[in-house]
């Protein structure tokens, strides 16, 4: 279909060619998925085609490497519970972990706006260094670019992680099977509400803090002894738990049912979400993970999660079903059922 | 030392803490080196300490991986001879090649400004795909973030490359030895002058085009049969040939002498530089490399370079000397000698 744009002097132009990028294209929700499917992947010649994962497996000389990259554009740069530096390290370590990999090395690239305070760069860099050391993974290389005033917003950090797949770990968003159990490692909603509260000075930031933390040790604990029984791992960052579960349901062509009663939403997060009209299921997290596990190993894996410092509040969230493939349904506290949709558009820009 | 800033209400603040990032901190020259040395590396706990290289060697399971990351912020996004997509692929492939590695996989992260044309994103992505396919290296994973209008300038692309070190290749900026010969694979100055001309519509862009191209095949040709005799490889991008040679001289604690008569500066590049007051030795290149080679193998390596499509205009540029360690000196066409300094500050921002 073509339309005529008067601004182009009456030249017909395909509608698609006049499309503009929206904030929602970066949300991690449905628009992001469409941009990836319709624009990015075709141009790359089908690279990463099919199931959207947090990284890629690259076999090199008999070793299964895992590679993951993420651009961090969070605003504000410093927030309760963390900053862009810690977030960049944790986010990339976690993307490797969700692929069943232990982190081996990180690369960090800065894009800095002219006029940015050197003291803030020092502070972010120290945070990168501290987070990397705490996660036990070295920053081996990097890059620094500077753009003119107004050409960036302070600082953007792109982190790339190289990992090595844990022996036996074979996880994919496509591996969920009916009967599997859905586990969640801890409370949800803290990161997104903290960022929004800090940005808008809403006052919640006195009570809540980002949950940003590395999850690779929790994953190692889970995988040890249960290798082939953990089918999917996913950290519900942009787009929240709802988008992550929908991605799993779509990739595995299964239904997922979750129980609202099991959903761990801290009271201050619930209060912030109610005030702001946000669904906690759509709010970004940076320190919890979803796992889809074979039913007969679910109790053991849940116990292993609860034994780890980063999973002690783990819960059984729901299960994988034959019914309604591609859909996520929640049994509500009121005894009803509702469809849990992917985030459409942008709930809150620049969350990570 | 502390100074009193009236704007801070008379509070004394260390001068360093009020410093701002300048465009020159991203130039690849002396300010970049200082920022790296004084701010970035200390915060990362000494990662990559010492010699500045184009990437890092990461041994994993008996394999010598090489990792390199680069943020690309070139403006304009499209220019004669290439665009930000091709540049991002070539730049990263070349950084791996300069470490003596063959590329294995690429990761690509976009930061996109809200309102950016989807058609342009499609065009850049197709260029990434085409350049990667031509270089024979797959794009295995990526990320897409969107920031609000005015928070970025169109599109930034960060590329990370994973490579595998070529058997026997052991190159470092610190390995130049007196007596070694300095080779240059082709003409200089085209990329930087093309970007400037395109940005300012100076008209030179009708005659010149960026030299952006992947150099890993040239490197493979050079390394085959001369493994331990190639001591240094470096692509003279930001900061140009002058900065690359100064880095080598400093890291190896040697002097370098080059001959102006041997310097391949195409006539349109020379004309543009003269008009703009640029030194071609400081202008960025994206498709040539410098190699420091054992004297007794220089003729053979030069012949190998000339046999490759990307090195057919290779020249012998000069030699490594005992005298004036850390300094680069040029024997001029007029029969004199002048010191070739590193680029200080910023000659031309957002060149790559």
DSSP-derived secondary structure for B219-256: HHHHHTTTGGGEEEEE---TTHHHHHHHHHHHHHT-EE
Q: Could you report the per-residue pLDDT of A98-145, keeping only the tens digit for each?
A: 999 999 999 999 999 999 999 999 999 999 999 999 999 999 999 999
The answer on A99 and A14 residing in a single domain is no
- pLDDT, average across residues A1-21: 51
The answer on A324 and A188 residing in a single domain is yes
The answer on B209 and B125 residing in a single domain is no
Q: What is the CATH number of the domain that holds B97?
A: 3.30.1330.10
The answer on B191 and B317 residing in a single domain is yes
Within 10 Å of residue B246's Cβ, how many Cβ atoms? 23
pLDDT of B8 strictly over 80? no
The answer on A279 and A195 residing in a single domain is yes
Q: Is residue B8 part of a domain?
A: no
Contacts of B31 (CB under 8 A, 6+ apart): B22, B24, B25, B344, B345, B346
pLDDT of A275 strictly over 90? no
Q: Could you report the per-residue pLDDT of B75-108, keeping only the tens digit for each?
A: 999 999 999 999 999 999 999 999 999 999 999 9
Within 10 Å of residue A115's Cβ, how many Cβ atoms? 14
Name the residue among A114, A151, A162 with its Cβ closest to that of B162. A162
Q: Is residue B266 part of a domain?
A: yes
Q: Which of B165, B198, B227 is the last residue of a domain?
A: B165
pLDDT of A8 strictly over 80? no
Measure the CA–CA gap between B67 and A92, rounded to whole angstroms.
15
The answer on B154 and B203 residing in a single domain is no
Whether omega before A192 lies within 30 degrees of 0, making that bond cis, reads no
A61 touches chain B (CB under 8 A): yes
Angle subtended by helix axes A84-98 and A216-223, to nearest 10: 20
Q: Using DSSP, state whether A218 is helix, strand or coil.
A: helix
Contact present, B351 and B74 (Cβ < 8 Å): yes
Q: Is residue B27 part of a domain?
A: no
Q: Is residue A174 part of a domain?
A: no
Q: Are strands A63-72 and A155-165 parallel, antiparallel or unpaired?
A: antiparallel
pLDDT number for residue B9: 39
Contact present, A93 and A160 (Cβ < 8 Å): no
Residues shown for chain B: 352
> What total of structural domains would you count in chain B?
2
The answer on B188 and B120 residing in a single domain is no
Structure tokens at A26: 């970066």
Q: Is residue A285 part of a domain?
A: yes
Q: Could you report the per-residue pLDDT of B63-79, keeping only the tens digit for each?
A: 999 999 999 999 999 99
Q: Which of residues 88-147 of B touch A (CB under 8 A)?
A: 104-105, 107-119, 121-122, 124-126, 128-129, 132-133, 138-147
Within 10 Å of residue A159's Cβ, how many Cβ atoms? 31
Q: Do B69 and A160 touch (CB under 8 A)?
A: yes
pLDDT of A31 strictly over 90? no
The answer on B225 and B107 residing in a single domain is no
Q: Are strands B328-331 and B337-339 parallel, antiparallel or unpaired?
A: antiparallel
Q: Is residue A345 part of a domain?
A: no
The answer on B300 and B203 residing in a single domain is yes
Q: What is the CATH number of the domain that holds B259?
A: 3.90.650.10
Q: Which residue has the higher pLDDT, B321 or A168?
A: B321
Contact present, B250 and B172 (Cβ < 8 Å): no
- pLDDT, average across residues B271-290: 94
B69 touches chain A (CB under 8 A): yes
Q: Which domain holds residue B232?
A: 181-339
Contact present, A175 and B78 (Cβ < 8 Å): no
Cα–Cα distance list, A85 to A1, A51, A124 (Å): 45, 29, 5
Q: Is residue A349 part of a domain?
A: no
Q: Which of residues 138-197 of B touch A (CB under 8 A)?
A: 138-148, 150-153, 156, 158, 160, 162, 164
Q: Which of B137, B165, B193 is the last residue of a domain?
A: B165
pLDDT number for residue B16: 53
pLDDT number for residue B45: 74
The answer on B187 and B134 residing in a single domain is no
The answer on B190 and B64 residing in a single domain is no
Measure the CA–CA gap between A335 and B329, rounded to whole angstroms.
82
The answer on B316 and B287 residing in a single domain is yes
Tell me how many degrees the CA angle B125-B126-B132 measures, rounded to the nearest 5: 90
Contacts of A34 (CB under 8 A, 6+ apart): none
Contact present, B162 and B65 (Cβ < 8 Å): yes
User: How confident is residue A1, by pLDDT bands cut at 50, 70 and 90?
Assistant: very low
Contacts of A21 (CB under 8 A, 6+ apart): A35, B112, B113, B114, B115, B116, B117, B118, B121, B146
Measure the CA–CA gap between B131 and B159, rounded to whole angstroms.
13
Q: Is residue B3 part of a domain?
A: no
Give which of A248, A230, A229, A227 is closest to A239, Cα–Cα: A248
Q: Which of A165, A197, A213 is the last residue of a domain?
A: A165
Closest CA in chain A for residue B51 = A141
Contacts of B46 (CB under 8 A, 6+ apart): none
């Amino acid at each position: 279909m073509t339309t005529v744009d008067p601004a182009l002097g009456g030249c017909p132009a395909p509608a698609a060619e006049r499309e503009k990028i929206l904030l929602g294209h970066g949300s991690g929700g449905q628009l992001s998925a469409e941009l990836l499917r319709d624009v990015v992947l075709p141009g790359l010649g089908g690279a990463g085609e099919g199931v959207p994962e947090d990284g890629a497996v690259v076999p090199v000389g008999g070793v299964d490497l895992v590679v993951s990259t993420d651009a961090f554009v969070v605003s504000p740069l410093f927030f309760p519970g963390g900053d862009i530096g810690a977030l960049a390290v944790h986010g990339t370590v976690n993307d490797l972990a969700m692929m069943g990999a232990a982190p081996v090395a990180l690369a960090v690239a800065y894009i800095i706006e002219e006029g940015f305070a050197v003291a803030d760069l020092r502070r972010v860099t120290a945070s990168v260094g501290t987070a990397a050391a705490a996660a036990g993974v070295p920053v081996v290389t990097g890059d620094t670019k500077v753009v003119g005033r107004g050409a960036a917003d302070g600082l953007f950090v792109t982190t790339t992680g190289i990992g090595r797949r844990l022996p036996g770990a074979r996880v994919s968003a496509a591996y969920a099977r009916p009967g599997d159990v859905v586990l969640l490692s801890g409370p949800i909603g803290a990161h997104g509400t903290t960022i929004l509260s800090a940005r808008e000075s809403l006052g919640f930031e006195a009570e809540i803090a980002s949950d940003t933390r590395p999850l690779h040790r929790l994953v190692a604990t889970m995988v040890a002894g249960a290798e082939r029984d953990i089918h999917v791992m996913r950290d519900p960052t942009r787009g929240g738990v709802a988008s992550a579960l929908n991605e799993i349901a779509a990739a595995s062509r299964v239904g997922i049912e979750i129980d609202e009663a099991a959903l761990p939403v801290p009271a201050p997060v619930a209060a912030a979400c109610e005030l702001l009209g946000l669904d906690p299921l759509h709010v970004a997290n940076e320190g919890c993970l979803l796992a889809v596990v074979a039913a007969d190993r679910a109790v053991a894996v849940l116990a292993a999660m609860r034994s780890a410092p980063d999973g002690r509040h783990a819960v059984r969230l729901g299960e994988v079903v034959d019914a309604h493939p591609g859909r996520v349904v929640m049994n509500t506290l009121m005894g009803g059922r509702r469809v849990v949709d992917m985030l459409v558009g942008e709930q809150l820009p620049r969350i990570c």
